[in-house]
Structure 1
Amino acid sequence: MSDVDLFQMIGNFGFPIVMTIYLLHRFEKKIERLEEVVQELAKIISFNRK
């Protein structure tokens, strides 16, 4: 996404909406990794209870 596209989106949709979309896009990979770690932790806890 270029700077021109970003400024055009801000003009069309407003700053709060553009920032929300940007932050959700940026944190998507971190959220996916967090989900993987939580699933691994659940498996470890389940294994240790047996």
Structure 2
Amino acid sequence: MDQFQMLTNLIENFGFPIVVTAYLLLRFEKRIEMLTEVISELKNTCSCIVSENQRRP
């Protein structure tokens, strides 16, 4: 019975934070994907600008 109480205490202590973390990760997942796409576009744009400036004498 001691192990059951320990398991119950662990779930009570860590269950809520895990649920909140999962909720926040799912909520922000779409925003993180959008940021990744924008950063990739910015990288491509910067690469194009650098290559154009290197071509000019």
* Fold similarity call, TM over 0.5: yes
**TM class by shorter-chain length?**
0.7 to 0.9
- Superposition TM-score, scaled by structure 2 size: 0.64
1:36 aligns with 2:37: yes
Structure 1 residue runs of 5 or longer lacking an equivalent are 1-10
- Structure 2: which 5+ residue stretches go unaligned? 1-11, 52-57
**Rg larger for:** 2
Over the matched positions of the two proteins, sequence identity in percent amounts to 56
What is aligned with 1:19?
20
Q: Which runs of 4+ in 1 moved over 4 A?
A: none
TM-score with structure 1 length normalisation?
0.73
